[in-house]
Every structure is written in structure tokens, then in C-alpha cells.
Amino acid sequence: IVTLNDIVDHLHNREVDGAVVLDDGMVERIHSYREQHGA
């Protein structure tokens, strides 16, 4: 079973086709959203 945390950790600062998939700012927004919405 793969969790959202696993996916975020795997994609954080990883480049795909020359672009970073999840930068620090996006990861922070994901964590903030999940805290606010009980995830």
C-alpha cells in the first residue's frame, strides 16, 4: 500500500523531464492543506 506521504517523499525535489515535480513550497502547501483538512 502506498500512502500520500510516500508519494510526496518520493517526488520531493525530484526532476522529471527536466522539471522539479514537487519543490519545497509545494510540499509545504500539501502539508498545510492536510493539517487543515484532517488528513
This prediction has a pTM of 0.78
Q: Would you state the pLDDT for residue 38?
A: 81
Per-domain residue ranges of the chain = 4-36
Q: Is 20 helix (H, G, I), strand (E, B) or coil?
A: strand
For the chain, the C-alpha Rg in angstroms (whole number) is 11
Check whether 24 has a pLDDT greater than 90. Answer: yes
Q: How far apart are CA 33 and CA 16, in angstroms?
A: 24
Q: Give percent above pLDDT 90 in the chain.
A: 92
